[in-house]
Amino acid sequence: MKPVRLRPRARQDRRDEVRYYRDEAGIRVAEKLVRTLEKALHTIAETPAIGSPALGRELGIDGLRTWLIDGFPLAFWYIERETHVDVVRLVGQRQDALQIDPDETT
């Protein structure tokens, strides 16, 4: 298992999404999201190659993978490094992935 490190932008994405779900759907849904995000990060830590490399290829970012979050229209974007898993973003499906600054993932 590799340690997972969330970049500052990924941590901010996570805070923003939890707040959004709390405000729009209530505290129980927000709490479920927090648990589900932690489970997803654990899965990525255990098996980093599990995520899809398709978006990374499309954006031209070597090693970028995505992992969908169960029950929510969200995905972690991450890169497996030698010593850790580098989580660069938490992106909503309502966002245009091709409009997100790829420099934030390098």
- CATH superfamily of the domain spanning 4-105: RelE-like (3.30.2310.20)
Entry pTM: 0.87
Q: What pLDDT digit, counting tens, does each position of 79-88 carry?
A: 999 999 999 9
Residue 106 confidence class, pLDDT cut points 50, 70, 90: very low
Mean predicted confidence (pLDDT) in 16-36: 97
DSSP secondary structure of the chain: ---EEE-HHHHHHHHHHHHHHHHHH-HHHHHHHHHHHHHHHHHHHH-GGGSB-HHHHHHT-TTEEEEEPTTSSEEEEEEE-SSSEEEEEEEETTS-GGGS-GGGG-
Domain positions in the chain = 4-105
Look at residue 47 and tell me whether its pLDDT is greater than 50: yes
